[in-house]
Amino acid sequence: MTRRLIDGLFRPIFAQAAENFIHDGAVFDIAGARLAFTTDTYVVRPLFFPGGDIGTLAVNGTVNDLAMCGAEPLYLSVGMVLEEGFAIDDLRRVVASMRHAADMAGVQLVTGDTKVVERGKGDGLFVNTSGVGRLIASSPISPRQVRPGDAIVLSGDIARHSVAIMAVREGLGFEPTITSDCAPLAASVSELIRSGIELHCLRDLTRGGLATALIEIAEAGSVTIRLDEPAIPVSDPVRGACEILGLDPLYVANEGRFIALVPADAAERTISTLRRFDEGAATIGCVEAAAGRGAVCLKTIGGMRALDMLIGEQLPRIC
Amino acid sequence: MTRRLIDGLFRPIFAQAAENFIHDGAVFDIAGARLAFTTDTYVVRPLFFPGGDIGTLAVNGTVNDLAMCGAEPLYLSVGMVLEEGFAIDDLRRVVASMRHAADMAGVQLVTGDTKVVERGKGDGLFVNTSGVGRLIASSPISPRQVRPGDAIVLSGDIARHSVAIMAVREGLGFEPTITSDCAPLAASVSELIRSGIELHCLRDLTRGGLATALIEIAEAGSVTIRLDEPAIPVSDPVRGACEILGLDPLYVANEGRFIALVPADAAERTISTLRRFDEGAATIGCVEAAAGRGAVCLKTIGGMRALDMLIGEQLPRIC
C-alpha cells in the first residue's frame, strides 16, 4: 500500500513522457549528445561487508544503472549526509573505496557535497551518487522492446550480496565467507553492444532480485516469461545460507548481476561474451506471448509456479 | 578543524585536475556537448518556511549551482531519504513544490530514487538533487578569472533566507513575515550571458553567505576585494531581525542571491540587466591587486575592517 501511495505520489513530479523514462535512469539529448542520467541514495547497513562497503556500492550501483540504459558511464557526483560523531577513519575507508571503485569502473567523481546532521538525526552515513553517461546502444533498451521468442541471459550466480549483508547482520560466520557480488557491469554491457547484439532489455538485479526484475519487465512488456529454475545459478554455500536465513534467492538483491533479453539467435553470442566476465553466465528462460497481462512462470523440477510481486520489502536497507 | 579534515579527506576522491573543478559544479565535454553537472543534499530544518520548503530549495539550489557554472539548467534527479512514519501529506506538499519549482525554473525532473530508513535513523526527509545543464558561457567562469579592477555586483538584498528559517525555529513572528529569497537564478544569468557581458566569476550566496563567498574568491584568485558596506542591500526588517537573532547578514545563507564579478566597464550593464529581475541589484565593491594572499576588506561608515572566514557553521541545517 505504501509503495502504491509513494508511486502515485512521485509519478506526477516527473515531467517526462513515459517513453523517456526507463527504469534505471533517464535518457535525453543535449546539444546533439545522447546522454543517460541516473541517481541512487545508499543507506545500506552495515556500512562494511564482505566484498565491499557503502562506497563501492554507491559507485557500482550508479555505474550499473547507467550501463542498464545502454550508456557508457563517465561522470559521477557524490552527496554525503554524515551524522555528527561519525568516525573519521570510517569515512576515510569509504572515500578510498569510492575512489578505487571509480578507477576500476573507469568513471570520474567530479563534484560533491557534504551535509552534517545532529546525532540521532541520521545513521552514520548516507551516500547519494548520480551519474552521467554517453548512450552507446544504437537501439532503445526497454521492457517494451521485449518480444516473444527472446532469450533471457543472466550474467552470473545470484543472491550473494544479500547473503553477505544478512550474514553480518545476523552475526553468522559462514565458511568460506560469502562475499557480495558488488561489481561494475559497464564493461560487459559495452562489450555486448560493441559486438552488435540487439539488446531488447537490460536490468540489474538489485532491490527485489531476479524475480521482481522479471515481473516488472513482463508486466511492462505484456509478455509471459518462462524461467527454468535449475538453470538459475545459485552457489551451494549461498543456497545453504539462504535456507538458514529464510531468504528466497530469487527475490533478494544482487549488486553485480544483470539480465539481458535478446533475440533467441543472439543468446549463444550473449552467453559467450558474458562468460568472458563471469563463468556463471547462463540462459535461464525465454519470453512468450501473453494471453492477458504479463506474468512470470517458474518451471521447477516438480512442475510450474507463478512468481508474484513481493508484498513489502524482503530486506530493508540492503543497498 | 573538522572542515579541514573533511576537505583533506575528500579532495583525493576527485579525479579531476583543479581547473575542471569549479566550486558550484563540474564542467566537461561529452560527444562534443559542453556540460555542467552538480549535486547537493538538502537537510534544512524546518522543512516548511515562509517563502518555500525543502522541495523548492532542492530544485532552486541545484538550478542555481548550474547557473553559477555558466550553464543553462536542463535536467534534475531527485533522491529522497524518508524516515519511517514521515507524514504522507508533507511528502505530497514537498513533491508538489518540486514540480512547481521545476516548471518555474524551466527544468525537468527526469529520474529519482527513494529510500526509507527506520524511525530515529533519519530526520523526516532529506532530499538530494543533482543536475545537468548545457554550458552557455563562452569564456571560463572561475575565481581565477577575476582581475584587479573588476566590479562586484550583487543581485538583490541579502540575509532573507536565513532570517526566515531562524524566525520559524525560534518561534518569532516578525510583522510583516520575512520570507526566504529562495528563487531560481538561471534566467538572470542567461540574460547576462546573452547580452555579451564578460562574466569573470559567479557565485550564489548560500552557506556562509556573501562574506564567505567573497573570501573564497579572494583567496582562490589571490586578489583583495574591497566592499562598500552601505552599498550592500539589507532590508530594514531583515536588519532588525538579524539584531534580535544575533546574526551577521554578511555571513548567513541566501538561496536566491548571487554576485557577478565583471570588468568595471560592464558594471552598469550588469546592474541594469539584473534590475529587470530584482530592483535591489547593486554594485557593492571592487577587486584590487593583492600584496600577499587574497583578502576581503569592508569599508564601513567608521573605517575599514577585514572579513575573516567563520570558524564553524553559523547556522546548521539552513539548506
Average pLDDT over residues B188-213: 96
Looking at residue A24, its pLDDT comes to: 75
CB contacts < 8 A (A, B): 205
Rounded-to-integer distance, Cα B52 and Cα A168, Å: 42
Indicate whether A174 pLDDT > 70. yes
Query: What is the per-residue pLDDT across A243-266, written as a single tens digit (0 to 9) for each?
Result: 999 999 999 999 999 999 999 999
Query: Could you tell me which chain B residue has the CA closest to the CA of A22?
Result: B111
Query: What is the per-residue pLDDT across B91-106, written as a single tens digit (0 to 9) for each?
Result: 999 999 999 999 999 9
Which of B13, B32, B128 is closest, CB to CB, to A95? B13
Contact A31 B26 (CB under 8 A): no
Looking at residue B123, its pLDDT comes to: 97
Looking at residue B14, its pLDDT comes to: 76
Band (A19; pLDDT cuts 50, 70, 90)? very low
Looking at chain A, the whole-number percentage of residues with pLDDT higher than 90 is 84
A3–B contact, CB cutoff 8 A: no
Which of A13, A41, A111 is closest, CB to CB, to B38? A111
Rounded-to-integer distance, Cα B319 and Cα B47, Å: 10
ipTM above 0.90, yes or no: yes
Contact A6 B114 (CB under 8 A): yes
Indicate whether B22 pLDDT > 70. no
Of the residues A23, A28, A40, A41, the best mutation for testing chain B's interface (the one with the most B CB atoms within 10 Å of its CB) is A41
Contact A14 B110 (CB under 8 A): yes
* Å between A290 CA and nearest CA of chain B: 29
Cα distance from N-terminal residue to C-terminal residue, chain B: 22
B122–A contact, CB cutoff 8 A: yes
Looking at residue A197, its pLDDT comes to: 97
The CA angle A236-A237-A240, to the nearest 5 degrees, is 85
Query: What is the per-residue pLDDT across B42-99, written as a single tens digit (0 to 9) for each?
Result: 999 999 999 999 999 999 999 999 999 999 999 999 999 999 999 999 999 999 999 9
Which of A20, A109, A130 is closest, CB to CB, to B130? A130
What single string gives the DSSP state of each residue in chain B?
-HHHHHHHHHGGG--S-GGGEETTEEEEEETTEEEEEEEEEE--SSSEETTEEHHHHHHHHHHHHHHHTTEEEEEEEEEEEEETT--HHHHHHHHHHHHHHHHHHT-EEEEEEEEEE-TTSS-SEEEEEEEEEEE--SS--SGGG--TT-EEEE-S--SHHHHHHHHHHHT---SSPPPP-----HHHHHHHHHTT----EEEE--TTHHHHHHHHHHHHHTEEEEEEGGGS---HHHHHHHHHHT--GGGS--SS-EEEEE-GGGHHHHHHHHHTT-TT-EEEEEEEE-SSS-EEEEE-SS-EEEE-PPSS-SSTT--
* Å between A170 CA and nearest CA of chain B: 18
Query: What is the per-residue pLDDT across B280-301, written as a single tens digit (0 to 9) for each?
Result: 999 999 999 988 889 999 998 8
Q: A232 and A154 in contact (C-beta within 8 Å)? A: yes
The residue ranking higher by pLDDT, B59 or B172, is: B59
Rounded-to-integer distance, Cα B57 and Cα B255, Å: 7
Query: Could you tell me which chain A residue has the CA closest to the CA of B81?
Result: A41
Contact B15 A110 (CB under 8 A): yes
Residue A162, amino acid? S
Band (B18; pLDDT cuts 50, 70, 90)? very low
Looking at residue A3, its pLDDT comes to: 65
The residue ranking higher by pLDDT, A178 or B174, is: A178
Contact A40 B79 (CB under 8 A): yes
HEC string of A220-289 equals HHCEEEEEEHHHCCCCHHHHHHHHHHCCCHHHCCCCCCEEEEECHHHHHHHHHHHHCCCCCCEEEEEEEE
DSSP state of A315: S
Rounded-to-integer distance, Cα A139 and Cα B239, Å: 59
Chain A residues lying within 8 Å of B15, measured CB to CB:
99, 102-103, 108-110
CA pseudo-torsion sign A232, A236, A237, A243: positive
Looking at residue B174, its pLDDT comes to: 87
Looking at residue A312, its pLDDT comes to: 64
User: Pick from A124, A122, A157, A105: which is nearest to A48 by CA?
Assistant: A124
Helix (H) or strand (E) holding A62: helix A54-68
Average pLDDT over residues A193-198: 96
Band (B213; pLDDT cuts 50, 70, 90)? very high
User: Pick from B265, B222, B263, B251: which is nearest to B313 by CA?
Assistant: B251
Looking at residue A173, its pLDDT comes to: 86
A121–B contact, CB cutoff 8 A: yes
- Residue A78 neighbours by CB distance under 10 Å: 27
Chain B residues lying within 8 Å of A36, measured CB to CB:
none
**Residues near B4 by Cβ (< 8 Å), separated by ≥ 6?**
none
Of the residues B9, B39, B57, the best mutation for testing chain A's interface (the one with the most A CB atoms within 10 Å of its CB) is B39
Helix (H) or strand (E) holding A166: helix A160-170
State the greatest distance between any 2 C-alpha atoms of chain A, in Å, as a whole number: 57
**Which residues 193-252 on chain B approach chain A with CB closer than 8 angstroms?**
none
Looking at residue A313, its pLDDT comes to: 63
- Residue B118 neighbours by CB distance under 10 Å: 14
B310–A contact, CB cutoff 8 A: no
Indicate whether A95 pLDDT > 90. yes
Contact B21 A111 (CB under 8 A): yes
Residue B168, amino acid? V
Looking only at the bridges linking them, the beta strands covering B295-299 and B223-228 are parallel
Helix (H) or strand (E) holding A170: helix A160-170
Looking at residue B15, its pLDDT comes to: 62
A264–B contact, CB cutoff 8 A: no
Of the residues B22, B28, B41, B97, the best mutation for testing chain A's interface (the one with the most A CB atoms within 10 Å of its CB) is B41
Rounded-to-integer distance, Cα A199 and Cα A155, Å: 14
- Residue A21 neighbours by CB distance under 10 Å: 17
**Which residues 80-99 on chain B approach chain A with CB closer than 8 angstroms?**
80-81, 88, 91-92, 95, 98-99
Band (B312; pLDDT cuts 50, 70, 90)? low
B41–A contact, CB cutoff 8 A: yes
Looking at residue B19, its pLDDT comes to: 47
The structure's pTM equals: 0.95
Contact A31 B34 (CB under 8 A): yes
Looking at residue B1, its pLDDT comes to: 60
Average pLDDT over residues A110-125: 95
* Å between A138 CA and nearest CA of chain B: 15
Average pLDDT over residues B16-31: 72
Band (A18; pLDDT cuts 50, 70, 90)? very low
A9–B contact, CB cutoff 8 A: yes
Looking at residue B3, its pLDDT comes to: 65
